[in-house]
């Protein structure tokens, strides 16, 4: 059981890393892009904007957490 | 994409992984037993080759759109992790990745572990430590090579980039027989994080069905745009005072390593 847990933990750390919100935000933005494309909008611009915001918010969380500790 | 850009991207990304693997092998060899550390390295390389040979060709069977979406998303998330850490380190909000410190830590752990061998392996600890380090870092190298090579339909150049990176780092490492502390790993991570994020953005958006203006040439704008964004965040975070324990290196001295 502990080996399965360690295996899962390795892949979680490998793919998701320290901030799961970034990964979730990327997936949601891609789903929205696919939805817009399906509706006839070439939404290439959506993901770059979301990624810039996600990175900024993730950095902000680290700085705030460090200040509070 | 230009073959040279593909080659340099894969070379840089794989060099970072090779530095980490080499640090572990050197610690196992220096602290315990060189023969067992080398055996562990060779066993890991064999296991890695078998894994890639078994799983690698399956990637070619997946439709390109789906492959770009999945691989692009993974690269993007992966790249953002690297970029986030690189920005925090460059702005003084996180300690610089210290290969010398990592080496000393691995060395102390290796020396403190109980001795003992199994079969042809004289020192099981040195063997497993090397095996683990080389296999895990090698898995990341294989991931980078397969994804970049398949997406750009140029696997040979991607393989060449990885082989060159591993050969250079191995030659340098064994020549100095010390951790590669002088290599500006944080700068490399910043560059690699930028490249992975830019390529991840490009492929995942294409995989989702949208089309970049200018097609492949959009990458020429995306890479500098991501770099500018990250450098902008570094500049912003430098204005925020960093907590004392997290900044062993003054922000000023970091400037030269990231710029």
CB-CB contact of B148 with B10 (8 Å):
yes
Q: B213 CB near a chain A CB, below 8 Å?
A: yes
Q: Which of A48, A49, A61 to mutate to test the interface with B (most CBs of B within 10 A)?
A: A48
Residues of B in contact with A66 (CB under 8 A): 93, 242-243, 246
- pLDDT for res B150: 78
Tell me, what's the ipTM?
A: 0.90
* Residue contact B81–A22, C-beta within 8 A: yes
Query: Which residues face B121 on adjacent strands?
Result: B118
* pLDDT tier for residue B201 given thresholds of 50, 70 and 90: very high
The mean of the pLDDT values for chain B is 77
- pLDDT for res B103: 65
The string of pLDDT tens digits covering residues B3-31 is 888 888 888 888 877 877 787 787 777 76
**CA–CA distance, B53 with B45 (Å, rounded to integer):** 12
From residue B190, alpha-carbon distances to A15, A45, B56, B135, B151 in Å are 18, 23, 28, 24, 23
- pLDDT for res A33: 96
A40 vs chain B: nearest CA distance in angstroms? 10
Q: B197 CB near a chain A CB, below 8 Å?
A: yes
List the single range of A25-29, A52-56, B83-87 with lowest mean pLDDT: B83-87
Region of B2 (left: φ > 0; alpha: ψ -120 to 50; beta: rest) is beta
- Segment B173-184 mean pLDDT: 60
Residues of A in contact with B229 (CB under 8 A): 52, 55
The string of pLDDT tens digits covering residues B152-165 is 788 888 889 888 98
Tell me how many degrees the CA angle B49-B51-B57 measures, rounded to the nearest 5: 95
A34 vs chain B: nearest CA distance in angstroms? 5
* Residue contact A51–B233, C-beta within 8 A: no
Structure tokens at B102: 């990592």
What HEC string does A25-43 produce?
HHHHHHHHHHHHHHCCCCC
CB-CB contact of B258 with B91 (8 Å):
no
Answering whether pTM is above 0.80, one says: no
B212 vs chain A: nearest CA distance in angstroms? 6
Does the structure show a pLDDT above 90 at B92? no
The string of pLDDT tens digits covering residues A38-48 is 999 999 999 99
Residues of B in contact with A11 (CB under 8 A): none
- Segment B232-254 mean pLDDT: 66
CB-CB contact of B90 with B190 (8 Å):
yes
**CA–CA distance, A43 with A32 (Å, rounded to integer):** 9
**CA–CA distance, B196 with B131 (Å, rounded to integer):** 27
Query: Alpha-carbon dihedral of residues B22, B23, B25, B30, nearest 10 degrees?
Result: 130
**CA–CA distance, B74 with B196 (Å, rounded to integer):** 9
- pLDDT for res B258: 37
Half-sphere exposure of B146 (CA within 13 A, CB side): 22
CB-CB contact of B135 with B48 (8 Å):
yes
* pLDDT tier for residue B224 given thresholds of 50, 70 and 90: very high
* Residue contact A47–B204, C-beta within 8 A: yes
b/e map of B158-192 (b: 16 or more CB within 10 Å)? Answer: bbbbbebbbeebeebbeeeeebbbebebbbbbbbb
* Residue contact A62–B88, C-beta within 8 A: yes
- pLDDT for res B179: 52
User: What Rg value do the Cα atoms of chain B yield, rounded?
Assistant: 20
Q: B246 CB near a chain A CB, below 8 Å?
A: yes
């Amino acid at each position: 059981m502990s080996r399965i847990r360690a295996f899962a933990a390795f892949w979680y750390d490998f793919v998701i890393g320290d901030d799961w919100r970034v990964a979730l935000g990327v997936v949601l933005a891609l789903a929205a892009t696919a939805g817009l494309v399906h509706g006839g909008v070439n939404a290439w611009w959506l993901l770059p904007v979301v990624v810039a915001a996600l990175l900024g918010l993730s950095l902000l969380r680290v700085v705030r957490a460090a200040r509070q500790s | 994409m230009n073959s040279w850009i593909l080659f340099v991207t894969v070379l840089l990304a794989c060099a970072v992984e090779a530095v980490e693997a080499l640090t572990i092998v050197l610690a196992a060899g220096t602290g315990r037993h060189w023969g067992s550390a080398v055996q562990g390295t060779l066993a890991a390389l064999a296991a890695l080759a078998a894994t890639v040979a078994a799983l690698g060709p399956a990637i070619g069977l997946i439709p390109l759109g789906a492959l770009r979406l999945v691989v692009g998303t993974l690269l993007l998330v992966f790249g953002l992790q690297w970029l986030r850490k690189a920005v925090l380190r460059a702005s003084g909000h996180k300690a610089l990745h210290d290969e010398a410190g990592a080496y000393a830590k691995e060395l102390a752990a290796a020396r403190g572990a109980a001795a003992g061998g199994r079969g042809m392996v004289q020192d099981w600890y040195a063997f497993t430590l090397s095996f683990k380090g080389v296999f895990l870092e090698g898995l990341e190298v294989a991931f980078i090579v397969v994804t970049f090579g398949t997406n750009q339909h140029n696997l040979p150049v991607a393989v060449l980039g990885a082989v060159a990176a591993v050969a250079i780092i191995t030659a340098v490492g064994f020549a100095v027989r010390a951790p590669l502390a002088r290599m500006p790993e944080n700068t490399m991570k910043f560059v690699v994080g930028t490249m992975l994020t830019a390529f991840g953005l490009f492929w995942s958006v294409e995989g989702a069905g949208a089309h970049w203006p200018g097609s492949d040439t959009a990458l020429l704008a995306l890479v500098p745009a991501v770099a500018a964004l990250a450098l902008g965040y570094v500049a912003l975070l430098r204005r925020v005072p960093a907590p004392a324990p997290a900044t062993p290196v003054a922000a000023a001295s970091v400037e030269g390593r990231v710029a």
